[in-house]
Structure 1
Amino acid sequence: MKNLLTDISGVRVGHADDARLASGVTAVLFDTPVVAAMDVRGGGPGTRDSALLDPVNTVERIDALTLSGGSAFGIESGGGVQAWLAEQGRGFVIGDATVPIVPGAVVFDLLNGGDKKWGRFAPYRDLGYAAAAAAGDDFALGSTGAGLGATTANLKGGIGSASAATPGGVKVAALAVVNAVGSVTVGDGPWFWAAPFESGDEYGGRGLPPSFTPEMLAMRLKGGATANAGENTTLAIVVTDAALTKPQARRLAMMAQTGFARAIYPVHAPLDGDIVFAAATGAKPIDPFVELTELGMIAANTVARAIARGVYEATALPFPDALPAWKDRFAP
């Protein structure tokens, strides 16, 4: 186990980004189509092909998921991933046509200091293609891909990932893009809200503060009193090797959202577009009640860990007044 989303067999992850743009794309590819669903809790989501994931709709399986910066402009990144998959002959077959199924979601990073004057067409379709072409078993965390331009209320955000297994051997892993309106750390200190779920020292091993003061529990928002709706989003992808139906995948996504509440304060606000995608490769049958409940519980913990790792591994953007990275402030 590498503590990455790719600990699930048949899953590959690729990044593509542009330092001048201060934005990028992350593509999650599945070697064979997977059952998938999603759960939306934030008030300002931006998505592509999300209706396909509704359990009542026809398409049962997807080929990839795309996460992107760029707000609504980034939705085009899914077209780039789709183009790469089409070249490989992947997709949903309808007569003589083959259509790759690539849902996705975006975060808002248009005000992070990067150069967004790209001319007539945004670069996200090309970044999506490059991310798909780069997909493999190993991938970077922190300020890369869709997390390059991500921020939180007080620290630089980024890409995080984590994995775990149930006592019965069913694996679950998460990847998160942390661009939250709230804070992932407690007050002005080094402690992560997700500290109780940390595995080893994967995000510094600092634990929780000895006590909580009113100042620690005060609301911190990105932009302070000028915080605007739609400028923030945390996205997560949860993948398991369990065999799930679309309704069961939806339930897994709903339970995994609990991990957001364990790692971000505040969360699921009108100012966020928080989304969890859940996908199942189908390798291991599970009991639909007790074992699915256990899987959802562990998935939520894994999402919380992935969110904390996204901030812990981030590096600051090289622009005036850019937010510091966690390691800039608290690393020994």
Structure 2
Amino acid sequence: MKNLITDIHGIAVGNATDLKLGSGVTAIVFDKPAIASGTALGGAPGSRELALLDPANTVETVDAFVLSGGSAYGLDAAGGVQAGLREDGRGLPVGGFHVPIVPQAILMDLTNGADKDWPQHSPYRDLGYEAYRNASASELQLGTKGAGTGATTVNLKGGLGSASARTESGFQLAALVAVNAMGSVTIGQGPHFWSAPFEEQDEFGGRGWPPAFQREDLALRMKGGPTTATTIGIIVTDATLTKARAHRLSIAAHDGFARAIYPAHLPFDGDTVFSAATCEKAVPDDWAFAELCLLATTTMARAIARGVYEADALPHEGALKSWKDKFGRP
């Protein structure tokens, strides 16, 4: 296992990164349609096909997910991914046509200081197509890549993070997340991550928690003015789940947001989690599914910390510093 979402068999991930734009797109592509759901708990979400993922609605599977920067402009990216899937003959059969099902969530990175002066049409459809064509089951770069390119937190550069885990019952589970939070993933002014209790093998620096918490560590810190907010992610398992159980898994992954970001789910965050089951393994019993929900929380929290830990500052004047810029590189 590489501690990546691609540890789950049947998943490929592709990034398209534009450092001049200060934004990008990440496509998560399933080898075959996956049972899927999702939940938005932030107060300002931006998405495509989120309603389709409601357990009460008819279509149960998706061909791909898309995470993108660009705020509402970024919603063009799913069209690029859909175009690639159509070229490859993928999609839900409907009246003689194949319609690729591609839910998407976006984050707001328009005001991060990079060049957003594009011509008539936004670049996100082309970036979506590029991300789809870059999809690989073996290569995945984190940090300032794909949807994490322009991401920030209140005090540090954000980025694309991932983590994976295995249950005692033998099911695999993994998270992928673009961390663009209004709040902070670190405690106070120091290097310690809120996710520290869940860290495995020093995956985000091994700093643990501070020896003591100060009152100022618990004060509200969040982006002000024109906000660049929203953390968006995906939680996936190889277990066989119903759409309703996939929905519950997405809710549990939101608990990982709350464990890793202080505070999360604010009125101007669009915090959204998609969930999927590749159904490569058996149906988990109630105990095994509860363990999957627990790991959805802790694995998402780890992925969030990794997204910040692996990030590099954007290459323009005044760009927000990265964790490694402030606290050292290995």
Task: Please give the TM-score of this superposition, normalised by the length of structure 1.
Answer: 0.97
1:305-316 correspondence runs (5 A) = 305-316=302-313
Indicate if the aligned counterparts of 2:238 and 2:280 stay in contact, CA closer than 8 A. Answer: yes
Q: How far apart in 1 are the matches of 2:216 and 2:268?
A: 22
Indicate if the aligned counterparts of 1:238 and 1:299 stay in contact, CA closer than 8 A. Answer: yes
1:22-101 correspondence runs (5 A) = 22-101=22-101
User: Which of 324, 327, 330 is 2:324 aligned to?
Assistant: 327
Q: How far apart in 1 are the matches of 2:135 and 2:176?
A: 14
Is structure 2 residue 296 aligned with structure 1 residue 299? yes
Over residues 47-104 of structure 1, what are the superposed CA-to-partner deviations in whole Å (9 max), with x where a residue is unaligned? Answer: 0111111111111110000000000000010000000000000000012110000001
Partner of 2:194: 193
Is structure 2 residue 260 aligned with structure 1 residue 263? yes
Partner of 1:203: 204
Is structure 2 residue 146 aligned with structure 1 residue 149? no
Partner of 1:18: 18
Partner of 2:121: 121
Deviation at 1:319, TM superposition (A): 2.0
SS in 1 for 2:246: helix
Deviation at 1:300, TM superposition (A): 0.8
- Return closer, same or farther for 1:227/1:196 CA change in 2, 3 Å cut-off: farther
Indicate if the aligned counterparts of 1:24 and 1:145 stay in contact, CA closer than 8 A. Answer: yes
Task: Please give the TM-score of this superposition, normalised by the length of structure 2.
Answer: 0.98
SS in 1 for 2:277: strand
Gap regions ≥5 residues in structure 1: none
Gap regions ≥5 residues in structure 2: none
Partner of 1:110: 110
Report the residue type matching 1:103 in the other structure: P
Q: How far apart in 1 are the matches of 2:30 and 2:232?
A: 18
Is structure 2 residue 221 aligned with structure 1 residue 220? yes
Q: How far apart in 1 are the matches of 2:185 and 2:210?
A: 14
Q: How far apart in 2 are the matches of 1:306 and 1:113?
A: 26
- Return closer, same or farther for 1:281/1:2 CA change in 2, 3 Å cut-off: same
Indicate if the aligned counterparts of 1:161 and 1:173 stay in contact, CA closer than 8 A. Answer: yes
| Aligned sequence identity (%) | 58
Deviation at 1:286, TM superposition (A): 3.0
Q: Which runs of 4+ in 1 moved over 6 A?
A: none
Q: How far apart in 2 are the matches of 1:235 and 1:100?
A: 21
Indicate if the aligned counterparts of 1:28 and 1:64 stay in contact, CA closer than 8 A. Answer: yes
Indicate if the aligned counterparts of 2:19 and 2:315 stay in contact, CA closer than 8 A. Answer: no
Report the residue type matching 2:64 in the other structure: A
Deviation at 1:284, TM superposition (A): 1.5
Deviation at 1:320, TM superposition (A): 2.2
Is structure 2 residue 249 aligned with structure 1 residue 248? no
Q: How far apart in 2 are the matches of 1:300 and 1:288?
A: 19
Q: How far apart in 2 are the matches of 1:188 and 1:272?
A: 22
Question: How many residues get paired?
Answer: 328
Deviation at 1:211, TM superposition (A): 0.5
Deviation at 1:227, TM superposition (A): 5.7
Indicate if the aligned counterparts of 2:240 and 2:284 stay in contact, CA closer than 8 A. Answer: no
Is structure 2 residue 274 aligned with structure 1 residue 277? yes
Indicate if the aligned counterparts of 1:259 and 1:303 stay in contact, CA closer than 8 A. Answer: yes
SS in 2 for 1:62: strand
Q: How far apart in 2 are the matches of 1:148 and 1:256?
A: 22
In angstroms, what is the RMSD of aligned CA positions? 0.9
Deviation at 1:303, TM superposition (A): 0.2
Over residues 97-146 of structure 1, what are the superposed CA-to-partner deviations in whole Å (9 max), with x where a residue is unaligned? Answer: 10000001000000011111111100000000000000002110000111
